[in-house]
Amino acid sequence: MKPFEIKKLIIDSLDADFDTAKFPEKLELEGICYDFNEDFEEAVLKNIFGDKVLSIRESEFMSNLSLLVSRVAITGIAAIIILLISIFITEGGSFSINSLVGLGDVYNEGLIYLLGGL
């Protein structure tokens, strides 16, 4: 059976009206026979879910997680620096507790009133 005929059978098998039960019969008529050992399924599953593969997946997950955490941390630090620069510019070149907290021309009594709920 030529490769284009095999491709045609595979493409035809995607059609809902195609009878997939006839597919192995057509292959056998052409002289193509697939015979697997009894432990083929176990060997494939062992290769997919083996200890080596799981350890590689765990180490890959941890490296991706550490990369993600570092990217988020760097982005957060950059945002804090930009915020501090904007406060420094808007306050006329000085930092104070009130400017860092976001308080402008609020008197201390008013602040106590706002925080105390009185």
Q: How does pLDDT run across 33-88, given as a tens digit for each residue?
A: 777 788 888 888 887 777 676 677 778 888 899 999 999 999 999 999 998 888 77
Same domain, 61 and 101: yes
**Residues of the domain holding 72:** 38-118
Residues 108 and 50 in one domain: yes
User: Under 8 Å CB-to-CB from 91, ≥6 apart: which residues?
Assistant: 99
pLDDT tens-digit map of 53-62: 667 777 888 8
**Number of domains into which the chain is organized:** 2
At 72 the pLDDT is 95
Buried b (16+ CB within 10 A) or exposed e, 39-74: eeeeeeeeeeeeeeeeeeeeeeeeeeeeeeeeeeee
Same domain, 31 and 76: no
The tokens describing 107, both together, are 């008197």
Same domain, 42 and 58: yes
Q: Are residues 91 and 70 in the same domain?
A: yes
Average predicted confidence (pLDDT) for the chain: 77
pLDDT at residue 109 in the model: 63
pLDDT on residue 24? 74
Query: Are 54 and 78 contained in the same domain?
Result: yes
Of 80, 87, 79, 84, nearest to 104 (Cα)? 87
Considering the domain architecture, whether residues 49 and 91 belong to the same structural domain is answered as yes
The two structure tokens encoding residue 4: 């284009």
Q: Could you give the count of Cα atoms lying within 13 Å of 111 in the half-sphere of its Cβ?
A: 10
54/81 same-domain check: yes
